[in-house]
Chains A and B, each alone.
Chain A
Amino acid sequence: MGLIFLIISTACFLIGFCVSVALYRAGRRTAGLNMAFIAIGFVFQCLFLWKRSELHGRCPITSGSEILVFISWSIVIMYFVLGRAFRLSLLGVFTGPIVLFFQAIALTFLATNDPGARPAETLDPWLEMHASMSLLAYGAFALAAIASIMYLLQNRQLKSRHPGRLSRRLPPVKYLADALIRLLIIGQLLMTIGVVSAFFMEKTPSSLHMAASGGVWLLYGAILTYQLFRRQAPRALARCAIVAFSFAVVTLLLI
């Protein structure tokens, strides 16, 4: 049953993305219809995660596939929480493919090799807190990276002095720069909760796990601290956010 929910959710994101692209190419607005597909996709994401949590009796982040779906879910939820500045041009045209890509991988693995129920020997709420908050933070960092890409594209268009159709569709650079900072702060706050939770866990995490989580936390912390005191230009911040997210993805693969 859970897999069907994931299939429907992935299909919704696929259709939403295709609709966005088709409407964009036709020069039409993408908002309403695309939003409906994303909202339905999100509902089925929730149902999938709920089914998996029932199966394991704990937070459904027991395998790489589930982690990918959980990150996708956190990206979508971050969008809904921080909606205004992004509108659907971000989620539909830019975020859609990422969510689609993550869920397609998860779907392939679950369809061919579902490890099944993985109940915890003992339920450690701190471990659950650590994992879920860290993955939510990854969602925020992913959105920050996407906002950065959009900022760099819009900036490039404006600097060329010949802003085209893409520029008219993208949000203003100020909104993107503001959203980027907000997402980095939210991501870092969530990551901090995740890292602090790790100190209370019953089982001490591996040194690799600690180094990876700590490294990501320190990297984003450094970026934000530098931003607080030096206020670097948004272009430099956007580049940092993309590099930092690439590093975060690598650490996720290592863990």
Chain B
Amino acid sequence: MKDAEYYKKLGFKCGLEIHQRLATREKLFCSCSTDLENDMKVGTVERRQRAVAGELGVIDRSTSFESSRGRSFVYNVFRKSSCLVDIDEEPPHGVNDDAVETAIRFASAFNARIPDEIEPMRKEVVDGSDPSAFQRSMMVAYDGRLQVNGRTIPITSIFLEEESSGIEGQSGGSVVYNVDRIGIPLIEIDTDPSIQTPKEAAEVALRIGLTLRLTGRKEGDAVSSEVQRGIGTIRQDVNVSILGGTRVEVKGLQEIESMALFIENEVERQLRLIELKKALIQRHAVVDRDTKELTDLLGHEKGRIIADSLSRGGIALGARLQGFAGHLGAEINPDRRLGSEISDYARMAGVRGIIHSDEDLQKYGLSYETIKVIGDKLGVRKGDAFILIVADRQQCEKAMKFALDRAAMALSEVPPETRAVADSKKGTTRFMRPLPGGSRMYPETDALPIEVRSDYIKSITQHTIYLDQRISNVEAGLSNRQIGEQMVYSQHLPLYEYIISKVKGINLVVATTLLEKLKELERAGIDTNISRDVFVDIFGRYSKGEITKAGIGEVMRYSPESARDVTRIIKEKSLERISGERLRKMVEELTAQGGKDIIREMMSRHRLNIDGEELNKLVGDRK
């Protein structure tokens, strides 16, 4: 069984980096809107980037790798959510104070130390995801901790940084990014690598996420939420290593549910690669750097992939991998092989992938004769494998170099890598870039350091509500435990808290309406974008007996924009509550008319206008 003992034996180490977008109105270093809805693209700019030496005069291995890919980057620029700062055409403005305040609030939630001065840094990124070729990032706290299931997980550092841009597409030598989201403030929470099992990693991630969502700013009786909600607003990176393996970062996990699977697979992948290394060494495997051009041999082949590329003036290069036969195709993860790993590296040069001799070569339209001729030309003997790349010359040569680099690593190490999700269902990953080292940090000389005085921290923590307090407040206010728990996890929690701070004594009605009715309307495709003060108005009318509980949902259905709207909807849709004397009269009339099941008949006629409880009581009293 894969329990804690199993992972301990493997020398399993695992740490998390949780990135969460903050809910500030503006970006971290400019005044662009962080609301990306309904924005308009206004143009594109195309840029090239190169690696520059970091603060210590060394070019980081991840940045020099990216630079050697020599790609160009295209940025889609948007009207409201991007400005000159975002496309590196204007220096950063002053730091967003709200974001700093939130970061400090979170630092206190994790009991972390806040330095006396926060120093904005540049973290070099040359994958193009930032037009400035760096991401602004600052360490806002360190040496924190978190309790999860009775264990203390050290929080090594907390950063405030800029969101990168989103990738839109990729074609040949250029990558297209959207800069609308770039510069939105992110908080990054890093744990130390003491997580003991994949399952625990998911629990820690869940707890960190909950802490970020529920640590809030007190505004009178209400609490304001500090983080964005929704798809893509929180991302989990996992660092995994085992003995004999290496640290690998799996980036961009969005769902906690599948986190354990990804980690289990990464452990498995490293185990397989270690085994593979042993086997290859035993077979005296060698990566033959002497590549051969095979264009002429493939000229007459009919397979679409090869023919297409060659007809566009491409070339074919081949290389022998001595002693690799059978190993390129052996599965190391579900549907992932050493061949896929090598292919990932080659793809970084813009090619579609590699063809290798452990594959079914017929599917590329290669005849038995051709395969033999290729083998002869490359000097392939029994036990050897070969790889083949078809693309235009420049790409092809670069891709072959990357591929052979990776093949050679199979003989010496599990390469330290940053990996991205390959298949979210299977929980598999693919190579993204070499794992960055420490040489890619240098000071952001365009932004001023931020002095953090202790009275400033105090003024923030005084207005902070922390996770445990908030949960117990919610649960204390709701007699129903299950509803209480649901409310804690609900994205409507801040709204709930706001409403019950204004309208007293109807907590359960508010909670169930937000948890059930709102969801129901959303599912029905109804716009439920109602301001919180209109919600207060609606629940206020319920509280005063003007409408029924069923009437609340009905008013919501028409998405009122103001209190006046609410009045209009109630009138137009005849949602006024019938109660007291009037209700009594109606019951009497119906009884006089010989009505049998009074309650049922009344409810079927006036479902939205009558409060069932009142009716029950009335009918009961008459009996």
Partners in one complex: no
